Amino acid sequence: MSTSRRKFIKISALGLGGVATAASTFNSLGVNSYLEDFALENALKKLNQTATYCEVCFWKCAAWVHSDDQGAIHKIIGNDIDPHCNGRLCPRGTGGVGMFTDTDRLKTPLIRKMVNGETTFVEASWDEALNLIASKMKGIKDTHGAESMALLKHGSPGKHFEHLFKAYGSDSIAEPAYAQCRGPRETGFGLTFGSWVGSPEPTDIRDTKCLVLIGSHIGENMHNTQVQEMSDAIDNDATIITVDPRLSTAASKSQHWLAIKPATDIALLLAWMHVLIDENLYDKAYVDKYATGFNELKEHVKDYTPEWAYGITTIKPEAIRKTARVMAAAAPSTIIHPGRHVTWYGDDTQRARAIAILNGLLGSWGRRGGFYFKEKTSISKYPHPPYPKPKWGWEQIGENYPFAEMGITNELIRASIPSEENKFPIKGWVVAGTNLNNSIPNKKLLEEAIDSLEFMVVVDTMPMEITGYADVVLPECTYLERYDDIRSATNREPSIALRMPAVQPKYDSKPAWWMAKQLGERLGLHDYFKYEDYKEVISWQLEQLGTSLEELEKIGVKKFKRKSGSMYLSEDQNYEFSTDSGKIEFYSQQLAVLGFDPIPKYTKHPEPAAGFYRLNYGRSPMHTFSRTVNNPNLNDLKSENDLWVNPKVAKILDLKKGQYVWLENQDGVQSSFPIRVRVTERIRWDSVYMVHGFGHNNKKLGRAHGKGASDTELISQVTIDPLMGGTGMRGNFVKILTENPTKTVAV
Ligand code: SF4
C-alpha cells in the first residue's frame, strides 16, 4: 500500500528531536542478553507477584506476573480463581512476556517531518508530540467541529481515548471488532433473543451433550475456558459436529465432520430446521411458551429439505438428517455455536439469525448445556461532568445500516474521503491499538481515506504497518507495565480482575490513560481527568464495590454473587425476552417492517472462476491476529503461515509440499510475499486456507517482516451486510503462481 501525500515511513526515526530521556536500566536489560540472564539468575530468589489480566487476546484471563526487583519478568501464570482461565493460561498468554521484551517495540514519540526534502519520522519529546496533537485537535474542532475527529480503536487503550473523545465532543468512534468481526452475530442474536452473545460467549459447553461448530474453530481460536470446556465436554462423551470445508482441529475431534461447500451455511441451517419441524423433533413446550413466529417458520422451511440442501451444500441428505436427530436427542443441552469472526458473505446477520433460530427450536437458550444467562458486575463511572452532545457521530455515519449498534469502521473510513454527498466529513484520526492495514479489507478505500486526512495519530506498542502513515506516533507501554480499567466481564458468576504495572515502562513508552489525560488537559478538559494516577480511579471504583485496591492487589480476582437469579430457565418461570414481543422471534417484525427478510433465506454467492480457489482464512493457537507475529516467544512457535492445498489441486499445478508460491486474486492483486504450500486432504479442492496475520511489510518488525502471506491484502472484494454494515470478506478467490510475479522479493 502506498499513498501519494501520506507516504509510508518505516519508523527509522532520525534522532533530531528530543531524544528519549526516560531510557533506564530496563533498556539495557532488554538489549543485552548477558545482563538479562545474569539478572534472571540472581532474581530467582526473590520474585514479586503482581496482578494483571492478559492482553494477548481479548478473553482477558487474569494472571500473576512474576518479576524481580531489576525489572525482569520471569513468568506469567493464570490466576486459580479466575473463571476466564481456571488458573491456566493458553500458550499465547504465557508468551505474553515477549510483548515486554521485544526490542522492536516503539520506544519514543515520533513526529513526521520533512528533512532534506524527504518525509521521515523524527524522535520527539512527549511534550512536543502531545502539544502538536492537542493543537491539531483544537484546529479541527474550530474549523470543522469536534465530530470531525474520529477514533478507531481496539482493546484497553481504546477505552481511555474513548473517554477523551467523548469529553472533547466527538462520538465518531468505531472498532474493527464490530463490523469486521463479531457484529453480525450480535445483531442476529439480538434480533432473535433480545440479547447480544457478548464475550466471553455464554455457551454452557462444560455441560453440553452436543456442540455444533459451524465455521467456528475452537482450539485454533484459542479462547481459553471455551477450549478447556470443550475438552471436558469431549471427555464427558458430548457429540461434536463440525461444519467446515477444512478438517480443522475441532473437526478432527468430532464424530461428524460435514465438509460443506463454502458460502452455503444458510442452506444447511434451513434444512436442519426443516428436519426438526418435519420430524417433530423440536422442543414444542419451549417453543409454545417462549417463541413467536413458529407457524411462519414452519411454512418457510417446508420445502427446504435435506435433498434441496444437498444440491447446494454437497452434504448428503442422510448426514443432514442424522446430525439433526443427534442435536435433537441431546436438546436442550445442545449448542449451535454462534461463532466469533463471522463477517463472511454479506448476509451474515441472517446467517447468525438462522443459527439463533435453530438454537431456539432446540430450546437451548437459557438451558443447562445450552446457553446460560450471563451476568456482570457494573463498575461505577469515576465522577466527571456530562459529556457534550455531538451534532452527529457513528450513528449518523452508519445511518444506511439500521441495525448497526456500534460504529462501523469502514463507514468512518468512507466518511474520511471528501465528496459532495459526504454529510459527515471526518478530517482527523486517532488510531489506538489496531493495525488497520491488517484488519480492514479494501486497501484502496483505506489508502484514499488516509491520504485525505488532515491529521493522523497512531498509538501502539509496536511499529505495526499503520504507524507508517501517521503524523504522530505515540509509544504505548505494554499491559505488563500499566494500570487499565477493571475487567468486569459477563460470565456464569460476576467477577472483576485488576491490571496493575508489574514493572516500570520500558524505553520512553507510556500508558494510554496518561496520554489521554495529558491531551485532555491541553484541550482544557481538566474536569474530566481529575486524578494524577489511574490508580486513584481504580481505587475509588473498587471502594464503590465494597472492596479495595489493597484487597485486589492480593487476590487479583474477586467474585460476586449473582443478583439476576438462576443461570437457567425454570419450569414455572414466565421469562420475558428483551425483544419487542418479549419472545424469541423466529419471525422478525422489525426486519419485515424495514423490508428485510423476516426469516433467513439462502442466497447464492459468487463462485471461483476456473483456475481460482476460494480464499479461506483462520487462526493459529499461537497468535492473535497480526499483533503477536513479532513476539519473540510466539514467533519461535510459529513464524510463518502456510497455504493448505488439496492434493488434487497440487497434482494439477504440480505443487510440492514446502514449495513457496505467490497468490493473485480475482482483481489482479498479488501477495507481496510468498507462502509455503501444505498439501493436505484436510481441505476441499475448491478452497485454499491460510492463517491470518502474517505477511508483514514493515521491516521494523524484524521477525515478522516478509514471513508468509497476508490474507487481508488479497481481500479486495467486500460484500456489505445491509443490516449492520459488516464487511463480508470470504468472497475472494486466488490463483496460485509458482513464479515470483514481481521478481523483486527474495524467498
Ligand atoms: S486466551 Fe490466552 S491469549 Fe487470550 S487472554 Fe487468555 S491467556 Fe491471554
- Residue 191 maps to which CATH number? 3.40.228.10
Based on the domain organization, do 337 and 267 belong to the same domain? yes
Is 482 within the bounds of a domain?
Answer: no
Residue 557 — pLDDT band, cuts 50, 70, 90? very high
pLDDT score, position 196: 94
Instruction: State yes or no: pLDDT of 1 exceeds 50.
Output: no
Q: Which atom of ligand 1 is nearest to the CA of 57?
A: 4
Q: How many angstroms does the Cα of residue 250 sit away from the middle of ligand 1?
A: 18
Residue 323 lies in a domain: yes
Q: Which of 331, 435, 364, 396 is nearest to 695 (CA)?
A: 435
Residue 525 Cα to ligand 1 middle (Å): 35
Ligand 1: does its nearest atom lie under 6 Å from the Cβ of 54? yes
CA-closest candidate to residue 158, choices 523, 409, 337, 400 = 409
Cell of 67: 518479576
Dist. CA 489 → ligand 1 center (Å): 14
Cβ of 62 less than 6 Å from ligand 1: no
- For residue 108, give the nearest of 506, 518, 512 by alpha carbon: 506
For the Cβ of 90 lying below 6 angstroms from any atom of ligand 1, the answer is yes
**Residue 442's pLDDT band (boundaries 50, 70, 90)?**
confident
Q: Is the CB of residue 89 below 6 angstroms from any atom belonging to ligand 1?
A: yes
Number of domains in the chain: 3
Residue 251, ligand 1, Cβ within 6 A = no
Contacts 24+ apart (CB under 8 A), 390-394: 390/145, 390/146, 390/147, 390/169, 390/170, 390/171, 390/172, 391/145, 391/147, 392/147, 392/172, 392/423, 392/424, 393/147, 393/170, 393/171, 393/172, 393/173, 394/171, 394/172, 394/173, 394/174
Judge whether residue 2 has pLDDT over 90: no
d(CA 350, CA 267): 12
pLDDT number for residue 45: 54
Compute and round to an integer the Cα radius of gyration of the chain. 26
Cα gap 39→27, rounded to integer Å: 13
pLDDT tens-digit series, residues 50-86:
999 999 998 999 999 999 999 999 999 999 999 999 9
- Ligand 1 atom closest to 59 (CA): 5
**Cβ–ligand 1 contact at 224 (below 6 Å):** yes
- Cell representation of residue 614: 476460494
The verdict on 135 and 244 lying in the same domain is: no
One domain for residues 353 and 213: yes
**Residue 505: closest CA among 531, 474, 550:** 474
pLDDT digits (tens, 9 = 90+) for 228-281: 999 999 999 999 999 999 999 999 999 999 999 999 999 999 999 999 999 999
State if residue 326 touches ligand 1 by the CB under 6 angstroms criterion: no
**Among 53, 60, 61, 491, which residue has the most ligand 1 atoms within 8 Å of its CB, making it the best to mutate?**
61
Question: Does the beta carbon of 218 lie inside 6 Å of ligand 1?
Answer: no
pLDDT tens for each residue of 290-302: 999 999 999 999 9
- From the CA of 221, how far away is ligand 1's center (Å)? 10
pTM, 2 dp: 0.92
Ligand 1: does its nearest atom lie under 6 Å from the Cβ of 97? no
- Secondary structure (DSSP) of 558-610: EE---SS--SS--TT-----SSTTSSEESS-HHHHHTTS-SS--------PPT
Using a 6 Å cutoff on CB, does residue 497 contact ligand 1?
no
| Ligand 1 atom nearest to CA at 78 | 7
Is 704 part of a structural domain of the chain? yes
For residue 184, report the phi and psi dihedrals to the nearest 5 degrees.
-60, -35
The verdict on 237 and 352 lying in the same domain is yes
Helix axes 306-313, 265-278, angle to 10 degrees: 170
Which of the four pLDDT bands, split at 50, 70 and 90, describes residue 527? very high
Q: Kindly state if the Cβ of 716 falls inside 6 Å of ligand 1.
A: no
Query: Any residues with CB less than 8 A from the CB of 409 and at least 6 apart, and which?
Result: 152, 174, 175, 176, 178, 179, 180, 436, 440
Domain that holds residue 217: 180-374
pLDDT digits (tens, 9 = 90+) for 478-523: 999 999 999 998 899 999 999 999 999 999 999 999 999 999 999 9
Verify that 244 and 350 share a domain, yes or no: yes
CB-CB contact of 515 with 521 (8 Å): no
Q: Model confidence at 211, in pLDDT bands (50, 70, 90)?
A: very high
Q: Are 114 and 245 part of one and the same domain? A: no
Listed range (2-6, 28-32, 42-46) with the worst mean pLDDT: 28-32
**Alpha carbon of 574 to ligand 1 centroid (Å):** 38
Domain closes at, from 374, 393, 419: 374
Query: For residue 215, what pLDDT is reported?
Result: 86
For 57-90, give one letter per residue: b (16+ CB within 10 A) or e: bebbbbbbbbbbebbbbeebbbbebbbbbeebbb
646/709 same-domain check: yes
Residues 636 and 638: their CA atoms lie apart, in Å, by 6
Calculate how far, in angstroms, residue 596's C-alpha sits from the geometric centre of ligand 1: 38
Nearest CA to ligand 1 atom 8: 93
Distance (angstroms) between ligand 1 centre and the Cα of 690 equals 22
The reply to whether 608 falls in a domain is no
Backbone angles phi and psi of 622, in degrees to 5: -90, -10
Nearest alpha carbon, ligand 1 atom 7: 93
Q: Is the pLDDT of residue 219 over 90?
A: no
Q: Is 57 in the pocket of ligand 1 (CB under 6 A)?
A: yes
| In a domain? residue 16 | no
**Secondary structure of residue 411 in the 3-state scheme:** helix
205 with 338, same domain? yes
> pLDDT band at 625, cuts 50/70/90?
confident
4: its cell numbers? 501519494
- Length of the chain in residues, anyone? 747
Residue 362 cell numbers, joined: 432446540
